[in-house]
Amino acid sequence: MKKRIEHVWVWLVVAVVFVGLFSLMVRVSGVPVGYVLVYSVPRGWNGSGWMDVRGVYVRDAGERVYFYVEYYGAVPVSRDYARCVSVYVDSDGDRRTGSSNNGMGADYYVYLGVSGDNSSSFGMLYRWNRTVNYWDNYKSVAQDMVLAPGLGYLEFSVGKEDIGYGSGGIKFYVGAYSYVVSMPSTELSYVVGSNSRKVSVDGVASDWGSSVPLVSFQARGISPSELEVSALYVANDAENLYVRIDARGKPSSSIESGTLGRELFIYIDTDNNNDTGYKAYGGADFYVYVSFNARPDKYTYVSYYRYAGTGGDSKWQYVSGTAANANYDAVYEFKVPLGLLGLKPQQKIGIYLPKQQWYLYRAIPVPVMYISYPLPKTNTTGIGGTVPGVAQKGFIERFFGSETVFLVLVASVFLVEAAVIVYLARRPQKQLPGAPPPG
């Protein structure tokens, strides 16, 4: 009897574990109710799952089309994080009309986004104006977005009539950005010559010696840590102004797919006078744009701009740009020629940094450039994901219809067997006659 009870408990534990795994599998890999998976996307970067798109789903319901962009993780509940998605739609199937994008002529596009804590969101539909060859602000779709803090997806809908959805369906592609606030807006000052040293722009901090940061930022627990700036340094020699940016994690120099972008906009007030230059950014006379990207290989670029406005407008004149003046490895570094800025020793300058946002960008799909919906009847596999089409069924799907049905049947068998064993264990046991007396 004791062994039978132990057997019951073993089967009960197996059943419970299997049911738990079944629930987990359905939650993680199941298709959202009513949707069709039109494109599955392998991980492009392992830095943080909430930033990386996992799949794109569509469903057709009445007069509306619904889109569901799934990620590999839930976005942290904080306004320091945000997701944005653009969906470009070719409704007439003619690449000669509309905006030329990804091998199709886009007639409409939807642009929407939401912060991780749901404190801000936006959604707008645009229509291509063939007369002026530009996008017209068509109508808001903010009311048609699913909003909640910490979601693992972006879901929204548009009216079929609003995007010209006809009997032939649509072609579309998705551009997905996930943003992190890498550093807050900051206003600083620096005296030329106060940290005099020769720096090799190689992304290694050893030649900065015992330099003290011009500013250090309080840790905010950003995930991933490599997208949070911890400190900024400034130095100069007779030829260049050097800037170093430290992050809390080692920068990724390559990714599998997409673009991991770390961009900086640094405004320099050469006369340290807020009443001259571009007044909105500390009286800036110059600004420097720097790009440190993994896309998928390491890439850097820096460009310089001189202010040409009257103080209240944003008229900037491009001066020059080069890939040679920026680099990153353990830290981010770039340089600005002093002659370009017209700086002299002991001159005090102002440095203004607006809030910086670093991001992961994924273009979906690649390499076929667009998705057709409704899906065609064939499917192939290409680099970067599953090309649009009806997925080929595996062994389980062919015999059971779907993985979900198979898992339900197996879980049911475990539960039924456990119940039968419990029932048999509780039945009264028939007493067998004892052994006959000797002799």
Q: Does a cis peptide bond (omega within 30 degrees of 0) precede residue 388?
A: no
Q: pLDDT value at position 278?
A: 95
| Helix (H) or strand (E) segment spanning residue 388 | none
Mapping DSSP onto H, E and C, the string for 337-387 reads EHHHHCCCCCCEEEEEECCEEEEEEEEECCCCCCEEECCCCCCCEECCEEC
Q: What is the pLDDT of residue 392?
A: 35
d(CA 291, CA 225): 18
Across the 439 residues of the chain, what is the mean pLDDT of every consecutive 10-residue run?
Answer: 50 47 41 92 93 96 96 97 97 91 90 96 96 95 95 97 94 96 96 96 96 97 96 97 97 95 97 91 96 96 97 94 96 96 94 96 89 76 40 42 53 61 56 46
What pLDDT is attached to residue 30? 62
One-letter amino acid identity for 90? D
Report helix, strand or coil for 117.
coil
**For residue 70, which phi and psi values (nearest 5 degrees)?**
-100, 140
Tokens of 431: 């007493």
Contact of 121 with 115, CB cutoff 8 Å = yes
Measure the CA angle with vertex 389, ends 384 and 390; round to 5°: 120
**Distance of CA 89 to CAs 21, 50, 129, 158, 372, Å?**
39, 25, 14, 11, 10
CA distance 290 to 294: 13
Token pair belonging to 283: 């009286």
pLDDT of residue 425: 56
Q: So where are the chain's domains?
A: 2-22+406-423, 35-181+363-386, 185-354
Query: Would you identify the CATH topology of the domain 35-181+363-386?
Result: Immunoglobulin-like (2.60.40)
Instruction: Tell me if 300 sits within 8 A of 175, measured CB to CB.
Output: no
Residue 360: the pLDDT is 98
Q: What is the pLDDT of residue 434?
A: 45
Q: What is the pLDDT of residue 102?
A: 77
Task: State the Cα–Cα distance between residues 162 and 64, nearest whole angstrom.
Answer: 9
